[in-house]
A and B are shown apart, each in its own frame.
Chain A
């Protein structure tokens, strides 16, 4: 988009003032008359069966209004996709409450009382008889011959072998054990590579290794990490006239209605979600949280509004965890540094519930980012008695890149190559391929990649050459190092709907179904529609955060898809409104529609012109498609209902994104870091950081910078300090507070980090914009890891985060001293 007034410009988002003044109301800020409060009874042990529960003393307490048990939850419902495909509910999947807890901290029952003090006292008065069951919190322990299983049935998800000609059966829990021989190198710190669940490959792997000038075989572990959202998954629920009202934070206003209605077995039209503000998601609540059923069911039972405030500790359990991935990378490089062959093995940690795909998707991202000429990827995902694994910013991509980047750093040193140069040599360019071939033998490819330009630009902005020159120099006990890392992740989906009305008052009312989780895309994407309509931003109202307000079918804000998907939808809706406005002008003022243009809030042509306010008035008079009484056939039924609710009020722009796209959308980031390490203490600091983004056209520069650097900091936490901690013998979490799990703070990162966007439009989307939320994460993490090895050499760390103990012990002993494979330490 050339010569824009809104797109690519900074502005004050419609939620900003409320946020900075504290007027913004998050779920737990609401109060309703007669409201009750919930406390949860959590399992004190990692795996158990509830033999019996005695709630009599609790029920006798004044102020206790209702107790909810797992048996009272509606049975999980099947899902029917947009295409009419039925996905059967997993009877062994995660639910809001359970009588067979599979991790310590899992909610068993809930009490609603007049206040939290009473509810807590009631919980303490409840007697639960738990029958302890076998458990395991370390996946490798579970894979050992005779190792414990996290579920009675086994330790992995799989499908039973299909009868010839029949479709494969539903996913179920199976047992997978490796052999003693598989563990032969465990004590040397090498990841055992027993029987995998997935084994894919392409190219001539053996030939690649044979021709390689350098072959590395490295084991590395990426930690489990909580999402650390600032607003936990608290929820308020009440019923009015048979409708369920829920206030909670989520990554999607619109699609969370579908989840809640499925969990509660209600018609979607009987669910209203109020979610104006969400204190962070990072993948932990893509379509809300199943725990919101608890206040909803208690509200029904007690016939009163019910607020469930989730505590930090509870959030650390039910909020979920990014799965750790333990990887083994065998990589063969040519002497020029080209990755000729890659044999990647990834083992993903999982809860005893639904499997996360991180271990598998890691391979896909790695294949795109480093373009190995031949690649094999084996993966296994192992269940343990730890909290649910959920997608977290750059799921799988982060872990895959964290396995690869230290290998590239080492290869460059061994081959005497510049770190930027070796990455540039292997980086994807244009419509680069990724993944193994499909059934037809075709490999997928991305819409565009300009990461080589990002590396070139970063080298300049960061001052790579000068910093490199001082890298490794000792000043007293301090030594510096520089690191560069590439990163990539998916960055856009298609096929969603845009919806707005320009009313006779001359204002444009945009319906936004995007979750407001801090990225500002709930507002940013609609700047495209306002731009195209020539509408001054002051005359635009964004309606968001209340699903009773006629919102269109919208993507989930996960997988960095919103900017891409919803600018396309906004473009489609604006194109629809422009076409209608031109027709109305022709019908009103004469001439052909094609001779009219929409600009500056007017429709003009043939020397005549009318305001959009007048167009809106005429649209209502004309009715039909112009004011939404007739709707396109191809829009989602959610949009149809919403548009019908808005019909007759003005000129309606409503359309589904049907723009073509050749390739899959990915964004890219190049990250550069300098660290300073004190070799006497092992303590280090990040001196400076620069991120360059390749994600197409920039819609809102300030929000873009917030994502590029903010998510880099999320990644830095993975390198610097944050992790989960479990005692393996008891299967219990030890780090249940922020100060124990140690996410990075503003004081842990450089004050003046730099960022830039290439701002090269993506050729496969009309607005040119892709998402940027996720690719910065691995860039932030790996630029630091690589800077550390630049300063200290290759024999320091074998897992992240890298704390001062890792560094100091390696320097003392001249070799890595971390336990590389033990989970949760």
Chain B
């Protein structure tokens, strides 16, 4: 069979008008149902004919999944809320700035207008071998093309590699982890809550999926508890271009201090492993220490302990080290035009 790209193959399109209708469809279609939020990930796969489906469940008509509301104990953000709306929402900006900043740095303005928060955390790996349709581990094969002597793997993993060296491409994921967010996952007649840090899966657990979502399930909302409201936040995304780029490494932190000393902290790093990593050991180590560059240096060193470089991504080790350092130290404005 010859390969051809850039024509979306036919499928049945479902545009449910309510959440119940959507969940019914997902239940009925099971494995065959392709959930489409903003389409920024889906269209790539479908256009390339690399992944196919008989039924797309497109969620733009489900108004229940959109918008941000105050729960009294934080915020609940509908999974279909656009990244632009997240980035611009007054309450997000005022109390959970790290998320507003992360959402505002995703891709490009156009993509943020279309892409959703739920889609951003649920998108598939961006490894260019995998996405070109090479039959790798993640695609069900038995090789990682990105981890060979000739592979071009500048954007790949330095931590947590297990056969697959793809990384988590999400910018909002580390911010959500730093905020102790909870993912609301529903299926027909059932709902479960999953901690943001546990929502993502590495290849050691499941090499073909990036998240815990199972067929029939839908990420409906993300809850941000008030726990970290108004903490000291830091978010930074290192990338090649200043727009329309996935992170080479990103970092998010939420830190509480008392008299200049760190009382509690959350630090998460993206694009260094197949899942965004919460750095719990670092969080523990910096507790009780002053929030300054010295503590940052220590945190950075500790963060990259065990990191292993591939041929082209050795830079990610000092980059992650320095970003974690900055995430603890605070200040520093990223260079942008």
Chain A residues close to B by CB (< 8 Å): 39-42, 44, 116-117, 119-121, 123-128, 311-314, 476-478, 676-678, 680-687, 720-721, 725-730, 732, 734-736, 738-740, 742, 744-745, 747-751, 803-805, 808-809, 812, 817, 824-825
Contact = CB atoms under 8 A, between A and B. Distances in A.
B4 A808 contact: no
State the 5 A-B residue pairs at the shortest beta-carbon distance, nearest first: A805-B315, A120-B7, A729-B150, A311-B6, A747-B243
Interface string B239-279: 11111111010000000000000000000000000000000
B295 to A, nearest CB: 16
A804 B248 contact: yes
Nearest to B316: A805
Query: Which of B148, B149, B152, B240 neighbours the largest number of chain A CB atoms within 10 Å of its CB?
Result: B240
Interface in B295-337: 312-316, 318-319, 322-323, 325-326, 331-332, 334-337
B129 to A, nearest CB: 7
Given A740-B128, A804-B248, A313 B337 contact: no
Nearest to B238: A681
B6 A682 contact: no
A825 B152 contact: yes
Given A808-B318, A825-B152, A742 B245 contact: yes
B206 to A, nearest CB: 25
B132 interface: yes
B154 interface: yes
Contact of B334 (A313, A683, A750, A803): A683
B305 to A, nearest CB: 17
Contact of B2 (A123, A676, A749): A123
A678 B240 CA distance: 13
Given A740-B128, A747-B337, A805-B315, A123 B4 contact: yes
B10 interface: yes
A48 B175 CA distance: 49
B163 interface: no
Given A682-B315, A684-B335, A120 B9 contact: yes
Q: Looking at chain B, what size class is its interface with the partner chain?
A: 35 or more
A685 B335 contact: yes
A312 B47 CA distance: 12
A676 to B, nearest CB: 5
Nearest to A807: B315
A252 to B, nearest CB: 28
Interface string B1-17: 11111111110000000
Nearest to A825: B152
Contacts of A730: 145, 150
Nearest to A717: B241
A685 B151 contact: no
B331 A727 contact: no
Interface of B: 1-10, 49, 108, 128-129, 132, 145, 148-152, 154, 236, 238-246, 248, 312-316, 318-319, 322-323, 325-326, 331-332, 334-337
Contacts of A744: 241
A37 B240 CA distance: 37
Nearest to A746: B243
Nearest to B127: A734
A734 B4 contact: no
B4 A678 contact: no
Contacts of B129: 727, 734
Contacts of B2: 41, 44, 123-124, 126-128
A230 to B, nearest CB: 15
Contact of B154 (A119, A687, A732, A805): A805
Contacts of A44: 2-3
Contacts of B313: 805
Given A680-B322, A681-B238, A727-B150, A124 B315 contact: no
B293 to A, nearest CB: 10
B241 A804 contact: no
Given A477-B332, A734-B152, A804-B248, A745 B108 contact: yes
A801 B5 CA distance: 29
Contacts of A745: 108, 241-244
B128 A735 contact: yes
Nearest to B5: A313
Contacts of B1: 124-125, 127
Contact of A749 (B6, B334, B337): B337
Contacts of A735: 128
A677 B319 CA distance: 14
Contacts of B335: 478, 676-678, 681, 683-685
A308 to B, nearest CB: 13
A506 to B, nearest CB: 47
Contacts of A125: 1
Contacts of B132: 732, 734, 736
Contacts of B312: 825
A803 B9 contact: no
A609 to B, nearest CB: 58
A683 B10 CA distance: 43
Nearest to B243: A747
A804 B4 contact: no
A536 to B, nearest CB: 42
A745 B243 CA distance: 7
A747 to B, nearest CB: 4
Contacts of A742: 240-241, 245
A683 B244 contact: no
Nearest to A744: B241
A803 B248 CA distance: 11
A739 B245 contact: yes
Given A476-B332, A681-B322, A728-B150, A117 B337 contact: no
B56 to A, nearest CB: 15
B315 A809 contact: yes
Given A126-B2, A678-B332, A747-B337, 19 more contacts: A117-B8, A124-B4, A127-B1, A314-B6, A682-B315, A685-B336, A721-B241, A727-B129, A727-B145, A729-B149, A730-B150, A734-B129, A738-B244, A740-B128, A742-B240, A805-B315, A808-B315, A808-B319, A812-B318
Contacts of B6: 311-314
A750 B332 contact: no
Nearest to A128: B2
Nearest to B150: A729
B331 A476 contact: yes
Most buried by A among B3, B108, B313: B3
Contact of A682 (B49, B319, B332): B319
23 contacts: A44-B3, A117-B10, A120-B49, A124-B49, A127-B1, A128-B2, A476-B331, A476-B332, A678-B334, A680-B325, A680-B332, A681-B334, A682-B238, A683-B239, A685-B336, A727-B145, A738-B244, A745-B108, A745-B241, A745-B243, A804-B238, A805-B154, A805-B313
* Residue in B2, B8, B129, B145 with the greatest tally of chain A CB atoms within 10 Å: B2
Residue of B5, B129, B244, B335 with most chain A CB atoms under a 10 A cut-off: B335
B333 to A, nearest CB: 9
B337 A748 contact: yes
B337 A686 contact: yes
Contacts of B241: 720-721, 742, 744-745, 747-748
Given A744-B241, A747-B242, A825-B312, A681 B319 contact: yes
A677 B337 CA distance: 11
Contacts of A678: 332, 334-335
Tell which of B9, B149, B246, B248 has the most Cβ of chain A within 10 Å.
B248
Contacts of A39: 4, 7
A663 B322 CA distance: 56
A68 to B, nearest CB: 15
A672 to B, nearest CB: 16
Contacts of B336: 685
Nearest to A314: B6
Given A125-B1, A686-B337, A749-B337, A727 B152 contact: yes
Contact of B242 (A685, A739, A817): A685
B3 to A, nearest CB: 6
